[in-house]
Structure 1
């Protein structure tokens, strides 16, 4: 049911001004824009992007299908969060889909032009899905998956072959 609701929102290009909670009833606090609850060892899969030349919004995070790396845009430069180029990705999963032109979900004031899901709040942030030791507990991760490791307190990024871990232990 939640997938149908998300599809309807994406198709309609609805602008939301609220907290979005997935698999939970209550946000951690008022600073949360998008948050994931008990996702049973599942992560957030980033969009597979084959041509990033038209993306200009700082803070954008993508899975670059051309070199199989998770990247974020900062001041017109792409920064690699994967640090490994052995990833495997099958972009036919998404390229076979029909996209509705201009469809997106915007949480907050809709000002950004790039992105399917845009979090616009200047005083709220997204909380990633939380998984203890995802490299051990997510059996079949998808390329471009991101989670927060609750045991090791690390940002974890999967490129299709290996996990990359960010943060101090």
Structure 2
């Protein structure tokens, strides 16, 4: 049921192309929004994270806050102040990533337009996203996928899986 619910949310988001409201992805439809500044929130106690896009060519004009798994050196990177910051050591590339099609401009969530490009662009000047919150990534996520990012409640850090190991940022 979770997969169907998420599929419907994603499909309706693509059809509408913009969403100007807060969104919660959870089993419990009555889950309260953490704060009014939340644009996207996931139910606590997840055993999964968000999978970052895996790119064999680095975006030429990225926006600050862009995250990718760079397939050239198997590192997860974030674009900040005109440079790519490496967030992990060399990891492992996804073994089943064979899709290199251009899927278009993507979806903007939070505003009607954006100068940023991406598959999903969260564009809001007064709201943020809450990463999926996992109790303990090393014990609760059995088969992490390269490029996975979430919040580890046990260590109180952002956890990023590079395909070999978890990297923790506080």
Query: With structure 1 as the length reference, what TM-score do the two structures score?
Result: 0.86
SS of residue matched to 1:2: helix
Unaligned runs of 5+ in 1: none
Tell me the alpha carbon deviations over residues 75-123 of structure 1, each in whole angstroms, 9 at most, x when there is no partner: 22000111x11x2223643516x55422324322421341111111111
Q: 1:154 is matched with which residue?
A: 157
Note the C-alpha offset of 1:4.
Answer: 2.5
* Residues 6 and 50 of structure 1: CA distance in aligned 2, closer, same or farther (over 3 Å): farther
Of 37-46 and 114-123, deviating more is 37-46
SS of the aligned residue for 1:12 comes to helix
Q: Distance in 1 between matches of 2:14 and 2:98?
A: 15
Shift in alpha-carbon separation, 1:54–1:73, aligned structure 2, 3 A: same
Runs of 4+ in 1 over 3 A off after TM superposition: 9-13
Give the structure 2 partner of residue 20 of structure 1. Answer: 23
Post-superposition offset of 1:158: 0.4
Q: What CA RMSD, in Å, does the superposition of the two structures yield over aligned residues?
A: 2.1
Q: Does the 8 Å contact 1:13/1:103 carry over to 2?
A: no
Q: Structure 1 residues 91 and 14, CA, compared in 2 at 3 Å: closer, same or farther?
A: farther
Change in CA separation of 1:52 and 1:150 when aligned onto 2, cut-off 3 Å: same
Q: Which moved more, 1:8-17 or 1:108-117?
A: 8-17
Distance in 1 (alpha carbons) for counterparts of 2:54 and 2:71: 6
Cα deviation digits, residues 20-73 of structure 1 (max 9, x gap) = 111153210101011111463111111111111324211111111211111111
Is this contact kept in 2: 1:60–1:72, CA < 8 A? yes
- The count of residues paired between Structure 1 and Structure 2 equals 164
Are positions 1:8 and 2:11 aligned together? yes
Gaps of 5+ in 2: none
TM-score (structure 2 length as normaliser):
0.85
